[in-house]
Structure 1
């Protein structure tokens, strides 16, 4: 496609002459006589280069340059000026003009200048496109430009067009589902369904039905046929989150489905075949789960084709402020609040915090601040104690020996305890161990249950927030809570 050059010149004779100079060049030269016509032309079709005369019948050429700058028009400007206006042209260079040509413009000078600036313009656009592709601060649902996230974006770019299975590994709250959705949106399946299943939040008895569906009468309560996630995702992507939470028996059935693409709905007698792309995720170490016998090795190698490790927020310090500011403005707009930025001292504290709950924890904290306050800037006073308090000092201190007399370098002494003092120390230690203490030892499962329940109560029943405070996976808290409730129901039934 030929480049466009706009000549803004009030002299028709000069315009005809300049067109003659460049008639054999590989670009098209368009001519207008007034500033108003120039603005109208640029609004309709932005040229790659503008040659701007300073003296126009309706306005100064400087006004046209100001309009181009104010509207952030992506074009280069060369100023054409008479001999006596060189100083003015230099001032316009400081305003963003790329070069100036002194009238009368010579043919070779005109051709060389136009071609040089067109080549430079193409190079600048190429560089911007490369930076936009490989140094992005936004990518689908992601926000962040740190080096670890750039690596994630590049892997997504590479793997999305293929059908390879992807295994996303990362702590809770790092954005594993956002990553899966980005892969789906970048793939050829983007116009087909994206279906997500959280394997840690579904009871094991219902897992097979959730994924493969069931037939009417397959179990008590199955009053109609129901399609599972595999059928719903036909042609698209099936995302299995927290895969390592899945029971071993179900892992075996999933492996067969991944190998053959076929499955039999619960209670059915006929195999069905679907075309789905599988993306899995876990917040555990999958190899450790294999070693501990909780995750099938053959399934691991089947899904672990292209791994993507999501960096925790503490390793994305440069992105913390960007994310916090984004959440602040989004929530402020939703709730009609005045927040529009973060003070420097608050930014420093946000960057120093370890963020065990990662991006999800940051999002929830900013949401809480916006709901409870209505200021222009987020300051330290708005941050919760868990963010602002300094790390607790160690309770265990090394006892320092009391020195009554300094030891001279050349008179160092070694104090050797006597046999009697050793015997007394041993006797004292034995008495401390065997002496009865008024301590009640409680089973660990009771302490764990009470702690989790206290966290849930503190968060007004919000299990997700409780999991963040406990530094546990939400799926773990859901699973334990469900197990306790099942035990209570069974006990009531027995009674």
Structure 2
């Protein structure tokens, strides 16, 4: 073991390096010369959870010839440790595999030591750094809120009961709810409360992966199966073996792949793309959609036999507008977290700001509220969030109780509603995002809400449409 220690006026960044390469250990430790980094270098055989978790962050050197490096990343992740992969030879595929196994980020070799340490410090700084009193005030009671949700409204109590009943089973779970309600959080909570929690939770967004790659992502592939398949690679079903696979936006899956998924669920066996033999898997499926499954089946876009195979334990997430006092509880929790992250001093919301938040309809749900609070914290400082800090369009809608077409992101300007002008409207100029939104919505209407077909007609990717919609729902930066 090699160790570098340095004294500094500010607290040193504590890094544990796990690498079997003595040269790598020397390079990392000798690079910590800025006086603000402590590095402990260990061989894979020498580390243990007790020592590893003492560090702020873990750096794991990965090599394509040693799959145990990826297993190590996954094991550390299950203990709640933040891990960064150092990918040998600048291998992008190795870095991606490390991210899929739980790494928070990756750094390609060769890299400058100072750049590496700067990135590690950024990752540590991005984690919420709350005082014990603030943490106690905002941390959800896991016994009362079984999936880590925040809120005690009647709608959420009903949800908690559903999750508690569904979690111990191995039967598939079908999660429904509007966009931004927390479907992946729900799925992960079900996994953490199940007997499979010691194994992996793997999530796939069926809408974000190109159709021609989706089968490989789900079932894996063998070397030479297609151009660029240079190595055998496991899919999500293999990675989730013994654990839980979350299929988000399941209704976006291609019909031909739906048939293969159905067969896999019926037989507990899968075949990699280009493979000649089947592999056994033991996976619990949790899937989610914000569409109407019955409507998708009626339209011929979703197989009825697959739906009935998956729709064993239904769980429905309530919209934020149905959650009453949870809105302010969530807003205060977000305010505490983002204030700590951004170095601000907010303690709460003034009465008028609370009135606006409680009276708004939140079409973008929790995601929209979270993005709004983050934006306020970044753009302002003080002890209390005032009504003047809320974006004009949201404040006007909250006061009137109306539901705008674009929630919370209509106007980026901040300030008093009475003092704002509309110079663009006065000149008859329609903002670009409004024109873009109208075009995309027209395409979705033409194709009965089918994102893939709308994207093809517009000659853009399906993920672009989802990113644009996310921006309309609450974060204008996402629609750029």
TM-score class normalised by the smaller sequence: 0.5 to 0.7
Structure 2 partner of 1:264: 271
Distance 1:286 1:464 in 2: 19
Query: Please, which of 307, 314, 320 is the counterpart of residue 327 of structure 2?
Result: 320
How far apart, CA to CA, are the structure 2 residues paired with 1:392 and 1:153?
A: 29
Match of 2:469 in 1: 467
- Partners of 2:177 and 2:275 lie apart in 1 by 36
Counterparts of residues 304-343 of structure 1 (less than 5 Å): 304-343=311-350
1:154 aligns with 2:156: no
Q: Report the equivalent of 1:212.
A: 219
The answer (yes or no) to whether the contact 2:199–2:243 under 8 Å persists in 1 is yes
- The 3-state SS of whatever aligns with 2:260 is helix
CA distance in 1, matches of 2:195, 2:180: 27
The CA distance in 2 between the partners of 1:150 and 1:239, in whole Å, is 23
User: 1:389 Cα shift?
Assistant: 1.5
1:246-302 Cα distance to aligned partner (Å, 9 max, x none): 111111111111111101000000100111101010000101111111100001100
Q: Deviations over 1:331-388 (max 9, x none)?
A: 1011110011111111111111111111001101101111111111111011112311
Counterpart for residue 249 of structure 1 = 256
Correspondence list, 1:175-254, <5 A: 175-254=182-261
In 2, the alpha carbon distance for the partners of 1:293 and 1:275 equals 29
User: How do 1:41-440 and structure 2 match up within 5 A?
Assistant: 136=144, 138-390=145-397
| Larger helix percent | 1
> 1:384-420 CA distances to partner (integer Å, 9 max, x unpaired)?
12311246999xxxxxxxxxxxxxxxxxxxxxxxxxx
Aligned residue for 1:278, secondary structure, equals strand
> How far apart are 1:141 and its partner, in Å?
2.5
Structure 1 residues 159 and 393, CA gap change in structure 2 (3 angstroms): closer
TM-score by length of 2: 0.56
1:140 Cα shift?
Answer: 3.6
* CA offsets 1:447-487 (integer angstroms, 9 cap, x no match): 615999xxxxxxxx99777424535999xx99xx9xxxxxx
> d(CA) in 1 for partners of 2:180 and 2:201?
20
SS at match of 2:234: coil
Residue number among 439, 443, 454 corresponding to 1:448 in the alignment: 439
Which whole-Å CA distance do the structure 2 matches of 1:225 and 1:362 have between them? 42
Q: In the aligned structure 2, how far is the partner of 1:280 from the partner of 1:261? A: 17
Task: Give the TM-score, by structure 1 length.
Answer: 0.54
DSSP 3-state at the match of 1:252: helix
- Cα offset, 1:133, TM superposition: 8.7
CA contact (8 A) 1:237 1:279 kept: yes
**Cα distance in structure 2, aligned partners of 1:329 and 1:388:** 21
State how far apart, in whole Å, the 2-side matches of 1:260 and 1:380 are: 57
Superposed CA deviations along residues 193-239 of structure 1, whole A, max 9, x for unmatched, are 00000001111101100000001110111111111000000110000
Instruction: Name the CA shift for 1:133/1:242 in 2 (closer, same or farther; >3 Å).
Output: closer
Q: Distance in 2 between matches of 1:162 and 1:393?
A: 42
Q: What's the secondary structure of 2:325's corresponding residue?
A: helix
Distance 1:140 1:392 in 2: 31
Secondary structure of the structure 2 residue equivalent to 1:256? helix
Distance 2:347 2:437 in 1: 46
Larger Rg: 1
| Equivalent position SS for 2:362 | coil
Whether the 8 Å contact between 1:356 and 1:468 is mirrored in structure 2 is: no
The answer to whether the Cα contact below 8 Å between 2:368 and 2:474 also exists between their aligned partners in 1 is no
CA distance in 1, matches of 2:317, 2:180: 10
Aligned residues of 2:147 and 2:190 also touching (Cα < 8 A): no
Cα distance 1:352–1:139, how it changes in 2: closer, same or farther (>3 A)? same
Cα 1:393–1:200 shift into 2, 3 Å: closer
2:418 aligns with none
| Shift in CA distance, 292/471, structure 1 to aligned 2, threshold 3 Å | farther
